[in-house]
Every structure is written in C-alpha cells, then in structure tokens.
Structure 1
Amino acid sequence: FSDPEGDGEPLGEEPKEPKPYPTPEPTDSPIISDPSEPRPKKQKIKIKLRNGKEREIQSMISTSFWSADGKPISSEEFLNNLFGELPKLFKDEEELRKLWSNPLTRKILLENLDAAGFPKDDLLTLQKLVDMEKSDLYDVLEYVFNGDYIAMTREARAKAAEATIFALLNDKQKEFISFVLSKYIETGVDELEQEKLPILLTNKYQSLEDAKEILGDVANISKLFIEFQEHLYKQKAA
C-alpha cells in the first residue's frame, strides 16, 4: 500500500457499510430447540471426477453455476471443470501453497481462476458445498486437486502457526498480527489481501500515522504482513 506522505495515492477504499438484516417478526409461540437433541447429519453425495476419483458435496444446498461461456451447469460439471483447470495453474500442492501464502501471487491465482470461468463467488459457493465454510479457500482448492487432503479450520491453522510466527516478532508486532488473525478466523482469507492492510491498520490504531509510530515505516509493515502469511499456510492438519 502507499505511504500517505509519499505519492498521495489513497491507501485503500473505505469499507462498505453492511446491509442491515431484516428484523424477524415476533411469534406468539417461539420454537425452543432442545440442546440435548442431536443435530441431523449433513447429507452428502459423491461426485465422480474424470480420473475416477470421488469428491463429496452436500446434497441439500441449492446452487447454480455457470460455465465460462455463460451456460448454466451442474455442481458436478463445475467441480469436474475446476478439477481439470487446477493442474494448468499449479503443478502440485507445494506450488499451490507457495502461490497462496503470498497475497500478491494469491491475487494473481484468483484472477487466473476468474478468467478461466471460476469467479471467486462461485468458489465461495463451492466452499459451502464441500462443507468447508470454517476453512480457507485454499483448503477447497487443495481438496478438489487432491481428494485425500484433510482441511483445517481457519482457527486451527491460525493457532498452529502462532508459535512459529510470534517467535520472529516483537510484542507490538505480535499484537497486530494477533488482531489480523482474529479477523481472518472470523471472516476468511479476504482479510489477508494486501488492499485490506490500510483498513486493518486504521481499525486497530485509529490512524495510519499512529500505526507507523507503533510498527515502523510503510515498508516494514508491508513486509510483516506478507511474511507472516508464509508461516500461516505452512501448517498442515495433524
């Protein structure tokens, strides 16, 4: 991001105000669920890919996908198309990890997926289908690429990486990265975009000038933000 004392370019767009949720109408007889009752298991179906391997998706979620040429396609077709496209963008899981662990190369990968007919909104829909809403889009791509992959929740990934990340940081840096990780756990990988950094700094320190006084100059803050993500995505499920 840009230094406000440098070229004068804006550091980032102001976050949009979220739309308010509709207030539910009160009912005379509210339904109270019994917490002791077991929740029904999510029903899943298996989709066979071109190589004969299978991937599981939830059967009760209604979705609509579109092909690169604008035609409606089924979840099975979308998954098969994505499975065929991923090897064109990275050769193995290690290359995916390297691309994903840097916000700059991650952005390019997502742009390449979009250009190939797999926009981010569709990938987020797929994330629900494969029951990985608490995980990362990285886990979704890994799972499609390699069905044996075991996904991690964002919280588990962050907690597993904390010791490695914090060993390299001073107390002020630890406090900021802890804040970033909390937002990542809450919201997802969007919080780790380079464009989000000015917003994160302003939310944490009220102003970018205050952030620079605490964390150092722009170059150091940007370096910190990029490098901690490399350690975050080194973590694997036990």
Structure 2
Amino acid sequence: MSSQQFIELLYVQLPEFVKDEAELRQLWSAPDTRRKLLQGLEEKGFGADQLAEMQRIIEAENSDLFDVLAHVAYALPPVPRQERAKNARLYIHSKFTSKQEVFLNFVLQHYVSTGVQELATEKLTPLLQLRYQNSIADALADLGPAAEIGQVFAGFQRYLYERVG
C-alpha cells in the first residue's frame, strides 16, 4: 500500500472511531481511552509500525501520534512534543503541588525524548521507580497515596493536548 493510499484509508476509517477533532483530543488526553483508540486502529490495520511510518512520511517524528491522526483527519499541523510539553508545564505549575510538578516534569522529559508510549498507565510504576531510585515508598511519601498518584499522572495529560492559539 502506498503512503497516499494509507492516508486515504485512515482518513476514511478514522470517523468510525472519533466524530471530530474535539473528541479525538478528549480520547487521546486520557491513557485508558487512548489505549482503546490505538487498539481499535490496530485492529483496522493501523498499528504502531504503520503510524510510525506515517509519522515519518509527514515529517512529524518529533511530534505525538495524536498529531499524525489530527493531521490526516483534520489537516492540523503537527506540534512537536517539546512544544506540547512546554505548554503543559504552564498548567502543571498552577494546578499541582511542587513535588507533583517535579515528578510531572520528569515524566514530560521522557515523553519528549521517547514519545506518547511513556504516558501509558503501565509506565507509571517504572517511571516512579526511575525517578525515586526504586523506592516506591519515597514516591508515596512525596506524592501521596497510589490512587492519587495515578490520578495526577492521568489527569495532567489533558494539558498536553489542549488546543493552543
């Protein structure tokens, strides 16, 4: 399949998953709904490898996979992950405690260097272990109960996908 055919097919099939840009942002902003969307796309033949190839084709390797979908479906220009992180930090500074902010900045560094997969729910524990030198007890002491840490981790992600401008 050519890249043009792939784009056309994705353009046709994406509305089966999301009705508009706002819904795409909403689904992508939460780890669980993002995972379900990605699973649904994979079932239709748009797996991680295909989306990564599309990322290369549209020269958006430094952008989020969200930007690939938004570009194909809604002709939005890709936003580099670095810029998404910078915009999210403005919200994080005012919405979270200083200790939560330090951890979320750590998460954002990994997101910028690696990609959206660093924001998956299953990455939370490894990120906490990395940040707190394998001491989950220190993480809990710094950031609060596990449920609260999970809410902070999932909750801040919506700020990455806020429409800017």
TM-score (norm 2): 0.96
2:14 maps to 1:75: no
Separation of aligned partners in 2, 1:192 and 1:96:
16
Q: Once superposed, what is the RMSD of the aligned Cα atoms? A: 0.9
**Is the 1:136–1:154 Cα contact (8 Å) retained in structure 2?**
yes
Separation of aligned partners in 2, 1:110 and 1:198:
21
Q: RCO (CA 8 Å, sep 6+): is it higher in 1 or 2?
A: 2
2:107 maps to 1:180: yes
**Is the 1:172–1:215 Cα contact (8 Å) retained in structure 2?**
yes
Question: What residue in structure 2 maps to residue 138 of structure 1?
Answer: 66
**Aligned amino acid, residue 51 of structure 2:** L
Aligned length: 164
2:84 maps to 1:154: no
SS of the residue 1:91 aligns to: coil
Q: CA deviation at 1:120?
A: 1.2
Structure 2 residue aligned with 1:202, among 108, 119, 129?
129
Q: Find runs of 4+ consecutive structure 1 residues off by over 6 angstroms.
A: none
**Is the 1:103–1:193 Cα contact (8 Å) retained in structure 2?**
yes
**Is the 1:101–1:230 Cα contact (8 Å) retained in structure 2?**
yes
Which structure 1 segments of 5+ residues have no match?
Answer: 1-72
Q: CA deviation at 1:92?
A: 0.3
Separation of aligned partners in 1, 2:94 and 2:163:
15
Structure 2 residue aligned with 1:124, among 37, 48, 52?
52
- Give the number of the structure whose alpha-carbon radius of gyration is greater: 1
Deviates more, 1:117-126 or 1:136-145: 117-126
Q: CA deviation at 1:235?
A: 3.9
Question: What residue in structure 2 maps to residue 170 of structure 1?
Answer: 97
Q: CA deviation at 1:142?
A: 0.2
TM-score (norm 1): 0.67
**Is the 1:160–1:235 Cα contact (8 Å) retained in structure 2?**
no
**Aligned amino acid, residue 143 of structure 1:** H
The structure carrying a bigger strand percent of its residues is 1
Q: Deviations over 1:154-195 (max 9, x none)?
A: 011111121112201111111000000011111110110000
State the identity %: 43
Separation of aligned partners in 2, 1:126 and 1:163:
30
SS of the residue 2:95 aligns to: coil
Q: CA deviation at 1:115?
A: 0.6
The structure carrying a bigger helix percent of its residues is 2
**Is the 2:87–2:159 Cα contact (8 Å) retained in structure 1?**
no
Separation of aligned partners in 2, 1:118 and 1:232:
23
SS of the residue 1:132 aligns to: coil
Separation of aligned partners in 2, 1:93 and 1:181:
23
Structure 2 residue aligned with 1:219, among 121, 139, 147?
147
**Is the 1:100–1:106 Cα contact (8 Å) retained in structure 2?**
yes
